[in-house]
Chains A and B, each alone.
Chain A
């Protein structure tokens, strides 16, 4: 079953579009199936519970009750390798949960 991921940025159109492409690639690379939904940051709070992971391209830090991963490094290139590892870890963790259920 595919993991449901939300990818959010300020307008839901620019950096989330790029981050989505990169996250899809990362997921493919580790053999995890994902369903991607792009969203505005403003709507993260309201919709987070419908997803397994929320990826955000800014320093949004509120507790949304769902696993939140910052991916602005994918855009700036700062600590990009570490961010990619965070993304992989979050995807694998969510996938493991599905398999356990």
Chain B
């Protein structure tokens, strides 16, 4: 069973943002301690910033650093610059980090599909913006962990 965590805070840069989400996942027993460093290594090589219309990054690492499937969402008090997945020369001012702790099973494909489908819908981002921390957790649970977006 997967779990969603939501935190809010200020990060100086993308690395600090990943440390915040990765540490939260570690403290909740979902990943190993060096998970965030592995996410950072991967992010440096293959960035995960989405688009200027969807200022979200989806950092992740391989399954060997994951103990329990989970997503830690970080709502940033001030945008943090991530590189764009599509164009590595472009910076995206990211407002939400969705740190994905994924196991390679059938459920992870469903979760990734729901996350990406949600993020492609501008109305979803608007909903995220209207949420406080507690409401965001409810929203993400509803969209990412239930079957409402499945085919």
Q: Do A and B bind each other?
A: yes
Chain A residues with CB under 8 Å of chain B are 9-15, 17-18, 20-21, 41, 57-59, 72-73, 75-78
Question: Total number of A-B contacts with CB less than 8 angstroms?
Answer: 64
Q: Are A73 and B86 interface neighbours, CB within 8 A? A: yes
Chain B residues with CB under 8 Å of chain A are 42, 45-46, 48, 50-51, 53-54, 58, 60-63, 85-88, 100, 102, 104, 108-109, 112-113, 116, 120
**Partner among A10, A12, A77 whose Cβ is within 8 Å of the Cβ of B51:** A77
**Which A residue's beta carbon lies closest to that of B117?**
A18
CA distance A78 to B122 in the complex (A): 13
CA distance A73 to B50 in the complex (A): 10
Q: Are B46 and A76 interface neighbours, CB within 8 A? A: no
A residues within 8 A CB of B45?
Answer: 10
10 example contacts (A-B, Cβ-Cβ < 8 A) are as follows A11-B62, A13-B108, A18-B112, A20-B109, A72-B85, A72-B86, A75-B116, A77-B53, A77-B54, A78-B51
Also in contact, A58 and B51, with CB within 8 A (given A13-B60, A13-B62, A15-B85): no
Given contacts A76-B51, A76-B54, 7 further A-B contacts (CB under 8 A): A11-B46, A13-B104, A14-B58, A14-B100, A15-B58, A21-B109, A58-B88
A residues within 8 A CB of B86?
Answer: 58-59, 72-73, 76, 78
**Which A residue's beta carbon lies closest to that of B45?**
A10
Q: Are A59 and B87 interface neighbours, CB within 8 A? A: yes
**Which B residue's beta carbon lies closest to that of A11?**
B62
A residues within 8 A CB of B53?
Answer: 77
Q: Are A14 and B60 interface neighbours, CB within 8 A? A: yes
